[in-house]
Homo-oligomer: A and B are copies of this chain.
Amino acid sequence: MKKYLVRPEPNNPALTQRVDGVDHANNAINTLVPVECPLTLFLNSQEIVTVMTIGDFPEDLALGFLLNQNMLTGEDIVTAVEHEPDINVVVVRTERETDFEDKLSKKTRTSGCAQGTAFGDVMEKFESVVLPDAPLKTSWLYALSKAINTTPSLYLEAGAIHGCVLCERDKPLVYMEDVGRHNAVDKVAGYMYRTGLSAINKIMYTTGRLTSEMIIKTVQMEIPILVSRSGFTAWGVELARQANLTLIGRTKGKRFVALSGSHRIEYDADPEIVPSEAGHIQRKGSRKPDAD
């Protein structure tokens, strides 16, 4: 079995914190919660943004953010990615000056709060992507859901976190977590860029909702299939159809719904033998999962 290239580190003490509180019966409790700390991204000498993150893979987060915002393009040569942990800063350096100042003035004005969607030249890239005709077997989909939901994670330990997993066939390869679902997908993008991992036969699995921005990022990353446990928005569906992206949501147990690109799906599994997942996605110390 192919192993994870990146997997969650629920036992990394830098990523969670123990806090005291009380429960519903007024009993003192001590529980684990994910950390959330600011990280400021620079592109050369230009400050771009401060994101809130659990703090792992800061270099991949910075690269992926800049790539997904089209502030770094294929023409830019990255010469260094410097993380300064004492001041929570990552500086991405490129060979030539990028045209980020001009872009920044366009982007920040149109960046959606709590969405981060940028239009303008982000959509230009989006419209030029031709996604490959990679298949998705339903047996892979069921195997992926099971593997991801049973992999030890910060989500299972501490809740309140999103996961984004780059997969190939029935194997999850790169499983990133973060307090923001956008950070998780940006970290995957940065990792792919840094390691040269191909997008052509990949599947992106996210715990987050399939909003417009998640579709735009997946398409820009040239990944042909996007799967979520969660639901859709109408504009997300419209963009997925425009881009010929296979868009699958509400994936739980045997169930899923495909609202775009269903021609890639090969129904090779009997859904009736897929167990309900009630048991294996429960957080420790909780009766229900609570990431959102």
Contact = CB atoms under 8 A, between A and B. Distances in A.
A213 interface: yes
Contacts of A112: 38, 49-52, 180
Contact of A291 (B36, B52, B292): B292
B110 A33 contact: no
A234 B34 contact: yes
Given A138-B24, A233-B160, A292-B207, A111 B110 contact: no
A250 B212 contact: no
A48 B65 CA distance: 21
A65 B111 CA distance: 14
A100 interface: no
Interface residues of A, number: 85
A38 B115 CA distance: 11
B49 A109 contact: yes
Contacts of A16: 234
B114 A180 contact: yes
Nearest to A109: B47
Interface in A35-94: 35-38, 40, 47-52, 65
Interface string A182-214: 110000000000000000000000011111110
Interface in A1-56: 16-17, 19-26, 29, 31, 33-38, 40, 47-52
Given A108-B108, A114-B51, A257 B291 contact: no
Contacts of A255: 23-24, 286-287
A290 interface: yes
Interface of A: 16-17, 19-26, 29, 31, 33-38, 40, 47-52, 65, 108-117, 119, 138, 158-162, 179-183, 207-213, 229-237, 249-250, 252-260, 262, 265, 267, 271, 286-288, 290-292
